[in-house]
């Protein structure tokens, strides 16, 4: 049985449809990735799943229970790592965790024990009595992650958890998220980082304009849409229009990112070389999740 | 309509922890101001004012100062204080992702506001007692009354907080609603000294019944009109409290 299930989940803000009839089934213990460009509706979808935003239409079931009717019960077993920092700046690092534990009715002693445990997990044990404003951005992010684990959740919802982390901290977080798998914790991971999605997620959904375009394992998505590999062509702006016209005429699949054109093809380099008078650079490589993302959403992440 | 649960106490505890951490720089200001006003007006202006019943002016204004500053405490806490937590610190968002509901948060904030009123009322009452301005043992009931008053003004403030577009809008709340009550609710002069129209407005100001109730507890002199005043305060508290819950839900659950 799916641990998180939605049916026709929709959110409208006036005439904007932020989330458009989304049907999801997330299995127990899996890491489910949600990818999409800015404004795709990821955060809005997540907010509906944690009962922070009432759906305009549709339903959510978590652990087989209707979220609308059992919000309190369900929220008790969900961990949330929000996109926007909402640590309590009036309290110290440790007090943040203790206050949070109290919201979950975790007894004082146990709260202390768990707080130390999660702080150690994210290498923050030395900052226990710091003020929130004394923490660096990456430390805050780690504290948010630590806080999300305090209630030993069955499902943890992470909205871009590794943003602003240095490479070392990012690997630490990835490792912790992987370890959660062995504890059977279901993870819903919203991310812009394709490496992260490819590494951590069992399945990913690609979201665009409020709709889920595709759901599959990262590997299958790459195989399905990028089996042939990608040729990156860098052109000067003057010859770019000509290249695009040629590609269109010959029915190539391609995406444009700034002055790079990525072509999905197994054709030889020589064949492509002929399409443009003077390519600055031409490089063949394996397709990544990122290419698939561009191909499906037609959008750059940096927009 | 959804009500709040006992879990609101968690929000109250959070605010208490923050207060215990940060009260040193803030609290003296809160307590010093009413005490200064009491002494300055009481002794300064009091030298020129003769009351009909021969009462000392400082004794006349002491209960009104208690009631007024109990009002200010809850009003500040549940406007500026709550707004900062809600909009700038996103504390409410964090809390409602736990088993607490918006209603629990609102109730916790209002009860915390009432606690601030209680603290202020207690401090002024102690100072007033030290200056021998309090003559009736009934005066201990000022403490629960100050708490009830805090619930009422906290609820009014919270309802306002749920609908304001920005923090600057609170200026209107204070200049049009709160501060005028301080001057026109019978704190410094009996209402009968005002023109007819002002008197009518004064009678509908929610601070007025509290000034009269507090004054009765200080003097130990009771009269039937106080029963009405008490039920008016209870009624207003219930109405604004119940209105603040759904208003805040509408604001937060978007
Ligand atoms: N409270 C709101 N009122 C009106 N519109 C909103 C609100 N919240 C989100 N939106 C709109 O809904 C759409 C989806 O926003 P959302 O935050 O879900 O995107 P996202 O996929 O999380 O993007 P990002 O990658 O930038 O975080 C956007 O067009 C956004 O402007
Ligand atoms: Mg987002």
Do residues A128 and A140 share a domain? yes
Distance (Å) from CA A169 to ligand 1 centroid: 27
Do residues A142 and A279 share a domain? no
Whether A207 is covered by a domain: the verdict is: yes
The structure tokens listed for B30 are: 């809160």
pLDDT score of A285: 80
Nearest CA in chain A to B9: A103
Concatenate the DSSP letters of all residues of B93-154 into one string. HHHHTTT--HHHHHHHHHHHHHHHHHHHHHHHHHHHHHTT----GGGGGHHHHHHHHHHHHH
Do residues A216 and A270 share a domain? no
Among residues 70-89 of chain A, which lie with CB inside 8 Å of chain B? 71-73, 75-76, 78, 80, 82, 84-89
Whether A295 is covered by a domain: the verdict is: no
Mean pLDDT (whole number) for B3-12: 95
Q: Is the CB of A39 under 6 A from ligand 1?
A: yes
Domain that includes residue B172, residue range? 8-253
Q: State the count of interchain CB pairs (< 8 A) between A and B.
A: 70
Do residues A9 and A57 share a domain? yes
The minimal CB distance from A91 to the residues B10, B18, B101 is found for B18
pLDDT score of B84: 97
User: Of A174, A190, A222, which residue constitutes the final position of a domain?
Assistant: A222
DSSP A75: H
Index of the ligand 1 atom closest to the CA of residue A207: 21
Mean pLDDT (whole number) for B11-29: 88
Q: What is the mean pLDDT of chain B?
A: 93
Whether B48 is covered by a domain: the verdict is: yes
Do residues A217 and A237 share a domain? no
Q: How far apart are CA A129 and CA A20, in angstroms?
A: 44
Domain that includes residue A248, residue range? 228-286
Closest C-alpha residue for ligand 1 atom 4? A13
Q: How confident is the model at residue A279 (pLDDT cuts 50, 70, 90)?
A: low
Whether A206 is covered by a domain: the verdict is: yes
Q: Is the CB of A135 under 6 A from ligand 1?
A: no
Closest C-alpha residue for ligand 1 atom 18? A41
Whether A301 is covered by a domain: the verdict is: no
Q: From residue B66, how far is each of A136, A272, B73 by CA, in Å?
A: 44, 85, 11
Do residues A139 and A260 share a domain? no
pLDDT score of B29: 75
B17 vs A contacts (CB less than 8 Å) = 91, 95, 99
Kindly report the CA angle at B205 between B199 and B206, in degrees rounded to 5?
A: 145
Q: How far apart are CA A227 and CA A63, in angstroms?
A: 37
Whether B3 is covered by a domain: the verdict is: no
Whether B1 is covered by a domain: the verdict is: no
Mean pLDDT (whole number) for A58-62: 97
The structure tokens listed for B153 are: 């003004």
Q: How confident is the model at residue A291 (pLDDT cuts 50, 70, 90)?
A: confident
pLDDT score of A302: 40
Do residues A259 and A214 share a domain? no
Do residues A64 and A158 share a domain? yes
User: Of A149, A168, A186, which residue constitutes the final position of a domain?
Assistant: A149
Kindly report the CA angle at A274 between A269 and A276, in degrees rounded to 5?
A: 105
pLDDT score of A300: 47
pLDDT at A160 over 50: yes
Q: From residue B219, how far is each of B46, B140, B193, B223, B225 by CA, in Å?
A: 18, 12, 21, 12, 15
pLDDT at A11 over 90: yes
A176-215 tens-digit pLDDT: 999 999 999 999 999 888 888 889 999 999 999 999 998 9
What is the count of structural domains for chain B?
Answer: 1
Whether B130 is covered by a domain: the verdict is: yes
Contact across the interface for B14 and A99, Cβ inside 8 Å: yes
What is the count of structural domains for chain A?
Answer: 3
Min distance B224 CA to chain A CA atoms (Å): 45
pLDDT score of A59: 96
User: Of A149, A177, A198, which residue constitutes the final position of a domain?
Assistant: A149
pLDDT at A303 over 50: no
Residue closest to B115 by CA, chosen among B82, B56, B172, B70: B70
Specify the pTM.
Answer: 0.90
Contact across the interface for B253 and A76, Cβ inside 8 Å: no
Q: Is the CB of A219 under 6 A from ligand 1?
A: no
Q: How confident is the model at residue A299 (pLDDT cuts 50, 70, 90)?
A: low
Q: Does the ipTM surpass 0.95?
A: no
Q: How far apart are CA B11 and CA A40, in angstroms?
A: 34
Do residues A71 and A201 share a domain? yes
Run of H or E residues at A77: none
Q: From residue A279, how far is each of A269, A286, A295, B93 by CA, in Å?
A: 11, 20, 22, 51
Q: What is the mean pLDDT of chain A?
A: 89
Whether A84 is covered by a domain: the verdict is: no
B171-210 tens-digit pLDDT: 999 999 999 999 999 999 888 888 888 888 888 899 999 9
Phi, psi dihedrals of residue A69, rounded to the nearest 5°: -90, -25
Task: Count CA atoms closer than 13 A to B127's CA, side-chain side.
Answer: 19
Whether B155 is covered by a domain: the verdict is: yes
Do residues A6 and A69 share a domain? yes
Whether A142 is covered by a domain: the verdict is: yes
Q: Domain containing A192 — which CATH number?
A: 3.40.50.300
Do residues A237 and A109 share a domain? no
Whether A83 is covered by a domain: the verdict is: no
Closest C-alpha residue for ligand 1 atom 6? A13
Do residues A183 and A209 share a domain? yes
Percent of residues, chain A, with pLDDT higher than 70: 97
pLDDT score of B42: 85
Torsional sign, CA B117, B118, B123, B124 = positive
Q: Domain containing A271 — which CATH number?
A: 3.30.70.1150
Q: How confident is the model at residue A238 (pLDDT cuts 50, 70, 90)?
A: confident
Distance (Å) from CA A192 to ligand 2 centroid: 9
Q: From residue B63, how far is each of A123, A168, A223, B47, B58 by CA, in Å?
A: 55, 63, 79, 19, 9
């Amino acid at each position: 049985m799916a641990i998180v299930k939605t049916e026709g989940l929709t959110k409208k803000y006036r005439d904007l449809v932020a989330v458009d009839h989304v049907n999801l089934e997330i299995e127990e213990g899996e890491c489910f990735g949600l990818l999409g460009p800015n404004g795709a509706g990821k955060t809005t979808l997540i907010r509906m799943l944690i009962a922070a935003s009432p759906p305009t239409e549709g339903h959510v079931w978590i652990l087989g229970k209707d979220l609308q009717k059992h919000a309190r019960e369900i929220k008790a077993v969900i961990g949330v790592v929000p996109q926007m920092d909402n640590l309590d700046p009036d309290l110290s690092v440790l007090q943040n965790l203790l206050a949070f534990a109290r919201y979950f009715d975790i007894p004082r002693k146990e709260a202390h024990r768990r707080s130390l445990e999660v702080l150690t997990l994210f290498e923050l044990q030395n900052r226990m009595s710091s003020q929130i404003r004394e923490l660096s951005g990456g430390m805050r992010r780690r504290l948010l992650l630590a806080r999300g684990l305090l209630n030993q959740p069955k499902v943890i919802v992470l909205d871009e958890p590794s943003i602003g982390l240095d490479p070392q901290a990012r690997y630490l977080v990835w490792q912790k998220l992987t370890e959660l798998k062995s504890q059977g914790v279901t993870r819903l991971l919203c991310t812009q980082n394709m490496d992260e999605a490819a590494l951590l997620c069992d399945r990913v959904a690609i979201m665009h304009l409020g709709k889920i375009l595709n759901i599959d394992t990262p590997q299958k998505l790459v195989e399905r849409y990028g089996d042939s590999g990608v040729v990156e062509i860098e052109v000067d702006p003057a010859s770019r229009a000509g290249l695009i016209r040629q590609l269109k005429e010959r029915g190539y699949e391609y995406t444009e990112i700034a002055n790079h054109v990525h072509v999905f093809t197994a054709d030889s380099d020589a064949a492509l070389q002929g399409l443009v008078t003077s390519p600055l650079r031409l490089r063949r490589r394996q397709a990544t999740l990122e290419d698939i993302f561009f191909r499906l959403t037609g959008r750059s992440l940096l927009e | 309509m959804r009500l709040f649960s006992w879990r609101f106490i968690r929000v109250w505890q959070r605010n208490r922890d923050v207060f215990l951490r940060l009260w040193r720089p803030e609290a003296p200001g809160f307590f010093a101001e009413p005490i200064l006003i009491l002494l300055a007006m009481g002794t300064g202006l009091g030298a020129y004012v003769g009351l009909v019943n021969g009462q000392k002016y400082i004794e006349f204004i002491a209960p009104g100062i208690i009631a007024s500053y109990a009002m200010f405490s809850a009003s500040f806490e549940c406007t500026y204080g709550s707004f900062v937590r809600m909009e700038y610190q996103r504390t409410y968002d964090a809390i409602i992702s736990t088993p607490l509901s918006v209603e629990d948060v609102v109730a916790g904030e209002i009860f915390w506001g009432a606690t601030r009123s209680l603290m202020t009322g207690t401090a002024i009452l102690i100072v007033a007692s030290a200056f021998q301005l309090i003559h009736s043992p009934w005066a201990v009931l000022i403490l629960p009354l100050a708490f009830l008053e805090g619930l009422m003004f906290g609820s009014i403030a919270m309802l306002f907080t749920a609908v304001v577009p920005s923090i600057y809008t609170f200026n209107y709340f204070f200049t049009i609603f709160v501060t005028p009550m301080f001057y026109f609710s019978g704190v410094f002069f009996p209402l009968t000294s005002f023109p007819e129209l002002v008197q009518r407005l004064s009678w509908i100001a929610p601070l007025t019944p509290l000034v009269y109730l507090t004054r009765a507890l200080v003097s130990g002199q009771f009269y039937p009109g106080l029963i009405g005043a008490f039920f008016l305060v209870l009624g207003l508290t219930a109405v604004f409290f119940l209105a603040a819950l759904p208003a805040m839900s509408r604001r937060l659950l978007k």
